Amino acid sequence: MTSAPADQVARHRALDASSSFIVQAPAGSGKTTLLVDRYLVLLSSVRKPEEIVAITFTRKAAAEMRERVLEKLPNAADIAHRLRIETIDAFCASIARQLPVPAQFGVPPGIVEDADELYREAAAATLALLENRERGDAIRADVWRKTHRVLEALDALGIETPNTSGLPIIEIPLANHEEIDEVGRYLFDQGVYATMAAYPLVPKHEVGFRIQVTAANGDDEIEQLISALTSLKERFQLHQVVSVTR
C-alpha cells in the first residue's frame, strides 16, 4: 500500500482556487502533476477555457502539460484548441498582436530561438537614446520620413486621410462602414497590423482603421504597407481625395 506524501496537506491546499501559491520542490517530486490538477480546478470555475492561462518557459514543458491536461478532460477534443497553455514568449506575442499600437509593431511579431543579437541591438539603441541626443533626433527623423512616404503614397492613390500633422499615426476612413470586418481581415492577411474603429463605437462616417509607423519598421515594411493599401483600394470602398479645380 502506497502511503500519502509527507506534504499531502500542502498539496491539497494548493488546489484551493481562491488562494495563490508558490510551489518549490526538486525535480521528480510531482510539481507538474500538481500544476495540472490546479489548472483543472481553475478550469472548472470559469465559463470559458481562455480565461485560464498557464505559462511555461519552454515549448517542451508546455506540450507536456497540455498533454496531461487533455488526458484528464472528458471533452478534450472539443476544447483542446481553446486551452491557453503556452510559453512566456507566445503569451507576450499574443498580447502584442492584440495591442499593435502600444506594442509599436507594424507587422506580426516573430519569435527567435537565439535572441542575443536582438538584445545587443536593443541595448545599443537604448544607450544611444540616453547618451546621444543626435541619435534620438536621427530616429525621429527616420520615423518622420517613413510616415511621409506613406502619406505621399496615399495622396498619389487618391486615398483620403485626416492626418495633416505628419504625426506617425495615420487614419484611413472607409466609404462603406459595413466593410470594416472584411477590411480588418484583409489587412491582417497582408501582414499589416491596424487598429479598427467600427460602428457603433464611432459614428458611421468615422469608421475606418489606424496605422502607426514606428522606428521598428524597416523600409521594406513600409513598402509592404503601401502595397497592401494599394490592393485595399482596389477591393474596398475608401474615401477619395476630392480635387478642386479653378
Residue of 24 and 245 predicted with greater confidence: 24
- CB-CB contact of 97 with 193 (8 Å): yes
CA dihedral defined by 146, 155, 196, 177, rounded to 10 degrees? 180
- Region 176-203 average pLDDT: 89
Which residues sit opposite 208 in a β-bridge? 173, 197
DSSP letter at 200 equals T
**pTM of the entire structure?**
0.45
Q: What is the C-alpha to C-alpha distance for residues 177 and 206, in angstroms, rounded to an integer? A: 8
Delineate the domains of the chain, giving CATH numbers in brackets: 8-98 (3.40.50.300), 133-235 (3.90.1150.10)
pLDDT digits (tens, 9 = 90+) for 45-54: 899 999 999 9
The sheet that has 195-197: what strands, in order across it? 169-173, 208-212, 195-197
